[in-house]
């Protein structure tokens, strides 16, 4: 009998050990996928603890308290929104002790009844890039301690929340908050106000001294006539939004009472800034922050904040993994004051302005006459556009093209490789055996490379600040087709060759005029028409090489019988995505998902009539010159310092491999 019980207990232990091992392996794969960090098979000073992250609801205080039971904690890194954390001990012995104790251990989260199981792995030295402090959105201010605790109490007590609905003050109980309006009711059905139907009573008397103080201090220029009071319980919030331009004037101010909160601001290009709004602080939104950035409060019970500034400081929440923790939310009430607009809005952000939508359509640019016009065309319809769409663009550029990866992995170990026009740097980490450095004209894309800990810098592909003859290899993937004259395209190829050592190799990809080759359509044409947010130069799959007897073709820009060439001075046509190219020179639309550009400048952006489907997504136009068969090879053969090792067609792209003599 005793033997049977021992066997059953042993089986239970074995089953639990197998489960823990499976969870460990899953955590290892997740860490490699998310951070590119490989777990160690031997004991080290550092542990990664799965399920002990800010994303799971584990606070820094709780994890530190757990970890310090097994030794001196030198470093505790908690990445934002991740389900794991890194702990470095003073010695390997202490880390081993913590591993044995915590792997498979069940713990209860603070301020919660939820239990979680921790899973541990050893890692080598964890290097985490220091976060650059984030600036507040332009034209946004946060003023601390704008009122006293006594004034706060009086203002909170002045709002009577009894009863679910109140006709006089348009009280509503919404999904994520309670709301009460004064002066004018904000109508959520059309996101506007009825300017001809003011609410009786106007603004509460208790608010008048506060508003006079704001006027005197210069925080506002006009006295508000509309007030919205929102009350948020922990777990509640407000969806991201931009206050309707036609409804309210420029200045919008919001007073935070009862508790601090983190408000999320988002630029149309995807850039986000988390801003701490302390208790009794005033948020002032004008200009760009009012008209262009959306703002909202994510419904959640905890905010990720700086641990060293717990409940004390105003400003942005910097993603410093050494100084983040969780803070439980409390009930917060906001008083948001606005001035109702009596005329149409004429701001400098027409593509998000309901008063101006559909009023303008920018004319297409002309094909350049001169070097100066070519440079200006590229500045407006290449450089500025990529700066605006960088975040969205990067989200569609994550898979290395197989034959590019094959070229890089074929290079000798220790090769120095320059990726000229590296974009978001998806090739810079392709092989640990190579020393790769990238450059791009877009600061925003280079910043994305930096976030991935890749080496990249800003420069023009026509003038790369790298010493001549210093690279073993160069790649130029989907770059040269953005130069608008034959001379500039040839100069870009010549600049690549200049960087190479004798015997060095260059791989060049350009978009092909022939999107159907040897009776096979490219992936660009095969993709469903209208899915414009995918990789338009194709994520190359199975490629087809060109025959050995392929003709040289003409030099760049000589497009005889290869489509209708655009003559200098004529308008550049706008291409219809996912269709064959009628012309070698054109503008290709990019539909920016979820937002619009930064400033009022054109930047190749086109407005559409209000209410149309297109008006919901801003469209940016990028200049392209698509290469006909033989054109790229002819340009390369015009250089006497290289020989062509290979030329081929790869899913809608013409490609060459060059060797410097």
Q: Is the pLDDT at 80 greater than 60, yes or no?
A: yes
Closest residue by Cα to residue 138 from 288, 272, 327: 288
**Mean pLDDT (the chain, rounded):** 82
Give the alpha-carbon dihedral of 390, 391, 392, 395, to 10 degrees: 110
- Distance in angstroms (rounded) separating the CA atoms of residues 339 and 251: 7
Q: Is the dihedral of CA 564, 567, 571, 577 positive or negative?
A: positive
Kindly indicate the confidence band of residue 418, based on its pLDDT and cuts at 50, 70 and 90. Answer: very high
End-to-end Cα distance, the chain: 84
Strands, E, within 442-591: which ranges? 456-458, 471-477, 500-511, 516-517, 520-521, 544-545, 585-591
What is the structure's pLDDT at 539?
Answer: 31
Q: pLDDT digits over 98-141, tens only? A: 999 999 899 888 877 788 899 999 988 766 555 555 688 999 99
- Distance in angstroms (rounded) separating the CA atoms of residues 638 and 558: 14
- Distance in angstroms (rounded) separating the CA atoms of residues 35 and 371: 44
What is the structure's pLDDT at 513?
Answer: 94
CB within 8 Å of 35: residues ≥ 6 apart: 79
Phi first, then psi, for residue 72 (nearest 5°) are -80, 120
Contact assessment for residue 317 and residue 275, using Cβ atoms and an 8 Å cutoff: yes
Contact assessment for residue 147 and residue 280, using Cβ atoms and an 8 Å cutoff: yes
- Distance in angstroms (rounded) separating the CA atoms of residues 13 and 285: 59
Q: Is the pLDDT at 484 greater than 90, yes or no?
A: yes
Strands, E, within 453-511: which ranges? 456-458, 471-477, 500-511
Q: Take residue 428 and report the two structure tokens written for it.
A: 């810079």
Q: Is the pLDDT at 628 greater than 90, yes or no?
A: yes
Q: Is the pLDDT at 523 greater than 60, yes or no?
A: yes
- Over range 632-645, report the average pLDDT: 95
- Over range 482-487, report the average pLDDT: 95
Q: Take residue 508 and report the two structure tokens written for it.
A: 């060049």
Closest residue by Cα to residue 302 from 322, 325, 280, 282: 325
Kindly indicate the confidence band of residue 457, based on its pLDDT and cuts at 50, 70 and 90. Answer: very high
Q: pLDDT digits over 645-654, tens only? A: 999 999 899 9
Report long-range pairs for 434-438 (Cβ below 8 Å, ≥24 apart): 434/408, 436/408, 437/466
Kindly indicate the confidence band of residue 563, based on its pLDDT and cuts at 50, 70 and 90. Answer: very low
What is the structure's pLDDT at 125?
Answer: 72
SS3 (DSSP) at 273: strand
- Distance in angstroms (rounded) separating the CA atoms of residues 83 and 549: 56
Contact assessment for residue 398 and residue 425, using Cβ atoms and an 8 Å cutoff: no
Q: Which has more confidence, 413 or 169?
A: 413
Residue written as token pair 């904040």: 305
Maximum mean pLDDT: which of 135-139, 158-162, 245-249: 245-249
Kindly indicate the confidence band of residue 295, based on its pLDDT and cuts at 50, 70 and 90. Answer: very high
Closest residue by Cα to residue 242 from 133, 338, 98: 338
| H-helix or E-strand spanning residue 53 | none
Q: Which residues pair with residue 625 across a beta bridge?
A: 585
Kindly indicate the confidence band of residue 540, based on its pLDDT and cuts at 50, 70 and 90. Answer: very low
- Distance in angstroms (rounded) separating the CA atoms of residues 103 and 597: 48
- Distance in angstroms (rounded) separating the CA atoms of residues 334 and 216: 22
Q: Which of 2-11, 161-170, 336-345 is predicted with the least confidence, judged by mean pLDDT?
A: 161-170
- Distance in angstroms (rounded) separating the CA atoms of residues 319 and 305: 9
* Count of positions (residues) in the chain: 661
- Cβ density class 242-254: b for 16+ within 10 Å, e for less: bbbbbbbbbbbbb
SS3 (DSSP) at 404: helix
Concatenated DSSP letters of 221-255:
SS---EEEEEEE-TT--EEEE---TTTEEEEEEEE
Question: What's the alpha-carbon Rg for the chain, to the nearest Å?
Answer: 30
Kindly indicate the confidence band of residue 172, based on its pLDDT and cuts at 50, 70 and 90. Answer: low
What is the structure's pLDDT at 6?
Answer: 66
Q: Which has more confidence, 177 or 213?
A: 213
CB within 8 Å of 561: residues ≥ 6 apart: none
- Distance in angstroms (rounded) separating the CA atoms of residues 517 and 402: 19
What is the structure's pLDDT at 414?
Answer: 95
- Over range 63-81, report the average pLDDT: 87
Q: Is the pLDDT at 257 greater than 60, yes or no?
A: yes
Maximum mean pLDDT: which of 30-34, 513-517, 600-604, 622-626: 622-626
Maximum mean pLDDT: which of 241-245, 521-525, 595-599: 241-245
What is the structure's pLDDT at 567?
Answer: 59
SS3 (DSSP) at 652: coil
- Distance in angstroms (rounded) separating the CA atoms of residues 285 and 639: 56
Kindly indicate the confidence band of residue 581, based on its pLDDT and cuts at 50, 70 and 90. Answer: confident
Closest residue by Cα to residue 510 from 493, 530, 487, 533: 493
Percent of residues, the chain, with pLDDT higher than 70 = 80
- Distance in angstroms (rounded) separating the CA atoms of residues 170 and 199: 8
Q: Which of 137-141, 167-171, 519-523 is predicted with the least confidence, judged by mean pLDDT?
A: 167-171
- Over range 507-518, report the average pLDDT: 93
Q: Which residues pair with residue 366 across a beta bridge?
A: 571
Concatenated DSSP letters of 319-377:
--TTSEEEEE---EEEEEEEEE-SS----S-GGG-TTTTTS--PPPPBPPSSHHHHHHH
What is the structure's pLDDT at 173?
Answer: 60
What is the structure's pLDDT at 228?
Answer: 94
Q: Which of 160-164, 264-268, 367-371, 589-593 is predicted with the least confidence, judged by mean pLDDT?
A: 160-164
Phi first, then psi, for residue 172 (nearest 5°) are -130, 150
Contact assessment for residue 485 and residue 371, using Cβ atoms and an 8 Å cutoff: yes
What is the structure's pLDDT at 127?
Answer: 62
- Over range 188-199, report the average pLDDT: 86
Q: Which of 76-90, 140-154, 368-382, 392-406 is predicted with the least confidence, judged by mean pLDDT?
A: 76-90
Maximum mean pLDDT: which of 173-177, 371-375, 562-566: 371-375
What is the structure's pLDDT at 577?
Answer: 79
What is the structure's pLDDT at 176?
Answer: 61
Q: Take residue 471 and report the two structure tokens written for it.
A: 């690279």
Q: Is the pLDDT at 612 greater than 70, yes or no?
A: no
Q: Is the pLDDT at 487 greater than 90, yes or no?
A: yes
Percent of residues, the chain, with pLDDT higher than 90 = 48
């Amino acid at each position: 009998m005793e033997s049977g019980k021992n066997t059953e207990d042993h089986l239970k232990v074995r089953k639990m050990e197998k489960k823990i091992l499976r969870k460990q392996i899953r955590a290892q794969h997740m860490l490699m996928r998310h951070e590119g960090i490989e777990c160690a098979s031997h004991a080290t000073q550092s542990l990664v603890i799965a399920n002990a992250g800010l994303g799971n609801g584990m606070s820094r205080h709780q994890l530190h308290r757990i970890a310090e039971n097994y030794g001196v904690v030198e470093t505790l890194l908690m990445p934002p929104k991740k389900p794991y954390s890194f702990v470095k001990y003073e010695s390997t012995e202490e880390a081993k002790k913590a591993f044995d104790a915590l792997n498979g251990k069940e713990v209860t989260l603070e301020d919660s009844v939820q239990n979680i199981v921790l899973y541990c792995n050893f890692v080598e030295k964890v290097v985490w890039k220091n976060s650059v402090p984030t600036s507040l959105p332009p034209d946004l201010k946060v003023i601390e301690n704008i009122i006293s605790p006594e004034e706060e109490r009086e203002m909170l007590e002045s709002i009577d929340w009894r009863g679910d609905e109140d006709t006089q003050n348009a009280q509503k109980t919404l999904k994520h908050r309670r709301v009460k309006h004064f002066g004018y009711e904000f109508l959520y059905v059309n996101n506007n106000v009825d300017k001809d139907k003011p609410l009786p009573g106007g603004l509460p008397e208790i608010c008048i001294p506060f508003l006079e103080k704001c006027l005197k201090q210069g925080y506002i220029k006009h006295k508000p006539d509309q007030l919205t009071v929102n009350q948020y319980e922990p777990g509640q919030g407000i969806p991201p939004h931009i206050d309707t331009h036609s409804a309210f004037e420029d200045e919008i101010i919001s007073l935070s009472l009862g508790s601090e909160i983190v408000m999320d601001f988002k630029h149309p290009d995807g850039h986000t800034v988390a801003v701490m709004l302390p208790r009794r602080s005033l948020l002032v939104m004008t200009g760009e922050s009012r008209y262009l950035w959306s703002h909202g409060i994510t419904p959640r019970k905890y905010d990720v904040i700086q641990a060293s500034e717990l409940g004390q400081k105003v400003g942005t929440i910097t993603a410093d993994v050494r100084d983040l923790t969780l803070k439980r939310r409390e009930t917060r009430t906001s008083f948001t004051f606005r001035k109702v607009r009596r005329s149409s809005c004429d701001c400098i952000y027409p593509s998000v302005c309901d008063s101006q939508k559909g009023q303008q359509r920018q004319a297409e640019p002309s094909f350049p006459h001169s070097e100066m016009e070519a440079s200006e065309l590229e500045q407006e319809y290449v450089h500025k556009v990529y700066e605006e769409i960088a975040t969205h663009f990067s989200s569609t550029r994550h898979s290395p093209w197989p034959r590019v990866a094959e070229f890089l992995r074929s290079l000798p170990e220790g090769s120095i490789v320059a990726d000229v026009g590296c974009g978001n740097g998806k090739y810079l980490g392709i092989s640990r055996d190579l020393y790769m450095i990238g450059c791009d004209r877009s600061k925003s894309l280079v910043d994305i490379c930096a976030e991935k800990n890749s080496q990249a810098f800003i420069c023009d592909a026509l003038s790369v600040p790298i010493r001549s003859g210093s690279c073993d290899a160069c790649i130029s993937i989907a770059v040269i087709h953005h130069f608008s004259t034959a001379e500039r395209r040839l100069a870009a190829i010549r600049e690549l060759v200049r960087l190479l050592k004798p015997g060095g190799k260059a791989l060049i990809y350009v978009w092909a005029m022939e999107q159907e080759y040897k009776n096979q359509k490219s992936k660009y044409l095969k993709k469903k028409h209208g899915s414009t947010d995918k990789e338009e130069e194709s994520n190359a799959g199975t490629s087809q090489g060109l025959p050995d007897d392929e003709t040289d073709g003409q030099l760049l820009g000589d497009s005889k019988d290869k489509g209708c060439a655009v003559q200098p001075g004529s308008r550049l046509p706008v291409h219809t995505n996912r269709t064959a190219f009628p012309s070698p020179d054109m503008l290709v639309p990019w539909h920016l998902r979820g937002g619009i550009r930064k400033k009022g400048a054109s930047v190749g952006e086109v407005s559409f009539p209000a209410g149309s489907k297109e008006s919901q997504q801003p469209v940016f136009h990028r200049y392209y010159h698509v290469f006909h068969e033989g054109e790229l090879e002819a340009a390369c053969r015009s250089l006497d310092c290289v020989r062509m090792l290979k030329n081929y067609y790869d899913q809608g792209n013409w490609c060459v491999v060059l060797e410097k003599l």
